[in-house]
Amino acid sequence: MNLSKKKSIMLAGVVGVIVILAIVLPMSTANSGEERNSKNNMSAAGAENSENDGDFGRDTDNNAAGGAPLLNGDEGEGGEGEGEGEGEGEGAGEGQIGVSATCPCFNAQDLDKASTDIASGSYTFYPETTCKGMDSASATNSITYTNDEMGYPAMLGYEVTIGECRKSDMIFMASAPEEAACRSLLNDKCTEHSSVFAAAAAASATCPCFDTEDLDKAAEDVASGSYTFKSASTCTGSDSGSTGIVYTNDSRGYSIMMGCEVRANSCRKSDMFRETSASENSACRSLITSKCAEHSSIFAAAAAAAAAVNTNE
């Protein structure tokens, strides 16, 4: 019985070993396969890195020789093409101006509004400075007027000069392209609204030599008979030549020019002459024409008296 039990025990032990081996061996085989796959992957990665290192070495050699760096698998010629393309693209982009320059002080609508203001007659217009630099790239050009309602002239209008521009009383710096843009706007609007500015100049112009009171005083002097009346030069009605109220003071033994007169491009009060603009000249003629009509009887009587003296002599 003892021997039979021992055999049974030994047989059970052998069966147990076989079962264990049946379980363990497949697992060991799988692990060995995974280990081999891992080693193979590591070997492949190492080979690839080695190849890349080789490429990097070639790139480095190529750089040392003056060539463009090579990307993976790229050839030198392709690299040069890409480098040239990028260089040309960047250069072309930097050389172009993306936005056109604009005037920092005013635009077309502002200048149209200025023209409307001037045409209204509610402001003091300055024709001597308006639209005077149209044909110059450096002269000051402007549309200028003031608001005098507050008892002092508040500057209005727009102007451009070298390196700067003006909107009302605010002055801004202007680059060369911005200045050119301002000049272009003013030139266009000076041409477009030229009739408005001409009419305003005529309406606002004053004679720089005399006014209505000066002409009334001249008529009184002529009527007094104390002066030598020059009827040939008085109230000639000329639209371009000389006309005025003309007489002289001969009491000192020589003739002193008196009266008021306008000529082609100038005007006079007594012996003081001044040049006139077209609008100023027109203003002087308008004043004389009005006073010649108002005091026509005085001048007619003085002319008759002077003719009688000449006849008696």
DSSP string of 23-79? HHHHHHHHHHHHHHHHHHHHHHHHHHHHHHHHHHHHHHHHHHTTPPPPPTT--HHHH
Residue 105: partners with Cβ closer than 8 Å, 6 or more residues away: 158, 160, 165, 166, 167, 170, 172, 174, 182
pLDDT digits (tens, 9 = 90+) for 89-107: 444 334 344 458 999 999 9
pLDDT digits (tens, 9 = 90+) for 120-175: 999 999 988 999 988 788 899 999 999 998 889 999 999 999 999 999 999 999 99
Phi, psi dihedral angles at 269 (to 5 degrees): -125, 115
- Residue ranges per structural domain of the chain: 108-204, 212-312
Least confident of 6-15, 114-123, 278-287, 289-298: 6-15
* Residue 66 pLDDT exceeds 90: no
* Residue 45 pLDDT exceeds 90: no
Q: How confident is the model at residue 285 (pLDDT cuts 50, 70, 90)?
A: very high
Distance (Å, rounded) from C-alpha 288 to C-alpha 283? 9
User: Which tokens sit at 274?
Assistant: 């001044």
> pTM to 2 decimals?
0.49
pLDDT digits (tens, 9 = 90+) for 203-226: 888 899 999 999 999 999 999 999
Q: Mean pLDDT, the chain, as a whole number?
A: 78
Contact call for residues 129 and 109 (beta carbons, < 8 A): no
